[in-house]
Structure 1
């Protein structure tokens, strides 16, 4: 049965009061308090996502027992998670039974490099037009008539240039192979020559890869990832890294031959980076650039325009902005780069939102409400006087409504409930 908007809102309103009971129930189901917290938070996110979608079927009565209904939801989510874990384990077991993929050994890798060096040296001796024709046709896949039209030559001229390049390739491979009677080693070389291809197709692909790697102009893999209000997402990247997106966040991921680049346009992300010495992993957030080889760290664009960098393990290099000196951060360290480039040390665990919490340190109430707005479909607003008040503390995201309602006990403010679930905070 679809949940109506009033029904969903009633569940959200009662979530704070039921939180402790839900945590106990989830802990008994999972056997882990950490997993229980994640499970309860996921339950809250499902409700917030449903409320954000604006679905409103006819049935609109509030639940008779909020805790029981929420406990049932959490139990179903736990079962789904258990089934996913089982399927993943079965998949990994099946993969373990498959034969290992064929990969070149060290000697073959060295010979690939030697062959490529020999071929590139040979092609460098070609006339400029023949080299241009060869690159356009065999590397970039351009048709011979198109090449002829672009260069203003006849089709026969293009064919002659390709034949010249092919003869050059054949001569280079012949010299590289050496005498055919050299035993197993020459046999391996003959096999490699066949793989490269005297016609130039396979070799051209490898040359094209090296040429593209040197240029590093176009990404080999690209993805635009985003989450909506009240949603979180975890993405596996093609290099073995993972990226976790906080609610209401956007990133652009570009993997090049010699580097891995992420642009954080909005919100927060946590990265578990697979080590690759030859391809550094960088995250650009406004003017701030964070570069690593392999580590776990979080980057967040704060409502004030500042950028927060938190390292869980490993080391990262932080460049606060153009012309500013770079800084190194180790495990457990963090810093906050203001919009004007000023740097301050920060504290706290990396990306606590992964565990359903938000930490406010030296923040204003306006910034805190803007941060909470990522998780709730209900507008959260504050008057100018109230927004300027300082606030610090740790908030469970699933209990954000209760935290808002308790603000008048800690700050000189009023919290007014408005139509549709909105809240307006004003100065007393």
Structure 2
């Protein structure tokens, strides 16, 4: 894939010019992408990815050629990334369709995404088994899972071989009906052919769920083990990361952020260890999505929201769309935050309502509202790639305003005009804010 930021056919301007242009053009870029992608949420995701790509390429302008029009270049990068997103979506749709149409003879090991895709089917099948008469279920499990011969089952249960065969036929018919109902297909007529019924079960579930693990054993195993997925992600100073998750959700990590994730058949959990993250969560009413920060838990079913561990140790939760529940241990702090709403929670559990856009750092901005200067400097240090500090005398001064991340140095230079501080640089490029 051609690098959409620096391709031979498109020689960009200095990236500092493009980054400066981005905040002013953000909403226009979203409208531009929405017309192409047909979804405002997809448009915002691509706009955010555009910023990330540009920020990651900062400092590499020399390899890309002479200056060009920053606005035109910005739109070209966004359009290329939007096209890439559409191609990936089309490929995934075709891949999943092939998986649905695959026959029983396919030999492969399912990945996590496939397991998650069949979760609803497996739940329906589990309910079907539990609804069977006890003897029918026992016969089915003994023959299909444990491989017990029909004659041995008949002898053990004290019934005729014909009875065992009828029980197996009844069980297969119920399972077949459940699968067809899940697929939205009509049930076989009572007089319809039964040949190939066992094959239809395999083709509907996939060879891995039936042929490899065994029918019922496969359902149970995948519900408790095979649907488990875990990972850990971290970003260094000055870099961000956008990551697709197995359930179709999208995770965006700010600079200097670490998370641990664990998904299974019942829940989706992310532990935010440091930094800030934005979550575009795929809806799943049966598996809540929870972000944990110490004793704080943020729970959703499907929405878009950000969580930020601030330098003072407070946790900021902000919602872009949907509804979010915030709790600390067993205490519910907010039952339903909605779009534009937020909550700042201190380490002692005290909370304060916040109004504003979620995770403004995705658009290249950081907002400060009467925060200590030391905390503001620590927040900007995630992006600066140099050592930023404030001495104890200046760290407690209060500062408000919006900082363009790409121009953090300009903001520091302007501070002496509004605060009694001076900016001191050392020989290695580090910056210290000291009292005047």
Specify if TM > 0.5.
Answer: yes
How far off its partner does 1:388 sit? 1.1
- Asked whether the 8 Å contact 2:136–2:171 carries over to 1, the reply is no
**Does the C-alpha gap of structure 1 residues 124 and 366 become closer, same or farther in structure 2, counting only changes over 3 Å?**
farther
**Does the C-alpha gap of structure 1 residues 111 and 221 become closer, same or farther in structure 2, counting only changes over 3 Å?**
closer
How far off its partner does 1:331 sit? 1.3
- Asked whether the 8 Å contact 1:22–1:70 carries over to 2, the reply is no
Greater gyration radius? 1
**1:211 corresponding residue in structure 2:** 220
**Does the C-alpha gap of structure 1 residues 177 and 273 become closer, same or farther in structure 2, counting only changes over 3 Å?**
closer
**2:242 corresponding residue in structure 1:** 234
CA distance in 2 between partners of 1:256 and 1:117 (Å): 22
User: 116-125 vs 392-401, which deviates more?
Assistant: 116-125
Task: Give CA-to-partner distance per residue, 1:22-41, whole Å, 9 cap, x none.
Answer: 88999999996999998677
Kindly report which structure 2 residues correspond to 1:106-255, keeping only aligned pairs within 5 A, or say none.
112-113=125-126, 116-117=129-130, 121=134, 163=148, 168=153, 172-177=167-172, 182-184=190-192, 191=199, 202=211, 205-212=214-221, 216=224, 220-255=228-263
Give the alignment partner of residue 334 of structure 2, picking from 327, 340, 343: 327
- Asked whether the 8 Å contact 1:40–1:74 carries over to 2, the reply is no
Structural RMSD (CA): 4.8
How far off its partner does 1:236 sit? 1.3
**Does the C-alpha gap of structure 1 residues 208 and 249 become closer, same or farther in structure 2, counting only changes over 3 Å?**
farther
**2:433 corresponding residue in structure 1:** 425
Give the alignment partner of residue 57 of structure 2, picking from 46, 51, 57: 46
* Number of aligned residues: 364
How far off its partner does 1:121 sit? 4.5
1:355 partnered with 2:363: yes
**Does the C-alpha gap of structure 1 residues 213 and 292 become closer, same or farther in structure 2, counting only changes over 3 Å?**
farther
**Does the C-alpha gap of structure 1 residues 217 and 384 become closer, same or farther in structure 2, counting only changes over 3 Å?**
farther
- Asked whether the 8 Å contact 1:26–1:75 carries over to 2, the reply is no
Q: Match of 1:184, SS? A: coil
CA distance in 1 between partners of 2:296 and 2:151 (Å): 49
Q: Match of 1:176, SS? A: helix
Q: Match of 2:148, SS? A: helix
- Asked whether the 8 Å contact 2:136–2:168 carries over to 1, the reply is no
CA distance in 1 between partners of 2:357 and 2:52 (Å): 18
- Asked whether the 8 Å contact 2:364–2:404 carries over to 1, the reply is yes
CA distance in 2 between partners of 1:252 and 1:175 (Å): 46
CA distance in 2 between partners of 1:232 and 1:299 (Å): 15
CA distance in 1 between partners of 2:357 and 2:153 (Å): 60
Q: Match of 1:420, SS? A: coil
Q: Match of 2:233, SS? A: strand
CA distance in 2 between partners of 1:347 and 1:311 (Å): 9
Q: Match of 2:58, SS? A: helix
**Does the C-alpha gap of structure 1 residues 203 and 359 become closer, same or farther in structure 2, counting only changes over 3 Å?**
same
1:378 partnered with 2:386: yes
CA distance in 2 between partners of 1:164 and 1:235 (Å): 49
**Does the C-alpha gap of structure 1 residues 117 and 24 become closer, same or farther in structure 2, counting only changes over 3 Å?**
closer
When normalised by structure 2's length, the TM-score is 0.67
CA distance in 1 between partners of 2:169 and 2:246 (Å): 38
CA distance in 2 between partners of 1:313 and 1:296 (Å): 5
Q: Match of 1:222, SS? A: strand
CA distance in 1 between partners of 2:137 and 2:90 (Å): 49
Give the alignment partner of residue 354 of structure 2, picking from 340, 346, 357: 346
CA distance in 2 between partners of 1:22 and 1:94 (Å): 30
- Asked whether the 8 Å contact 2:52–2:241 carries over to 1, the reply is no
CA distance in 2 between partners of 1:376 and 1:166 (Å): 75
Task: Give CA-to-partner distance per residue, 1:312-359, whole Å, 9 cap, x none.
Answer: 11101101x224234121111100011111111112210000000001
Structure 2: unaligned runs, 5 residues or longer: 1-13, 34-43, 103-120, 155-163, 175-187
Task: Give CA-to-partner distance per residue, 1:192-211, whole Å, 9 cap, x none.
Answer: 567799xx964954434543
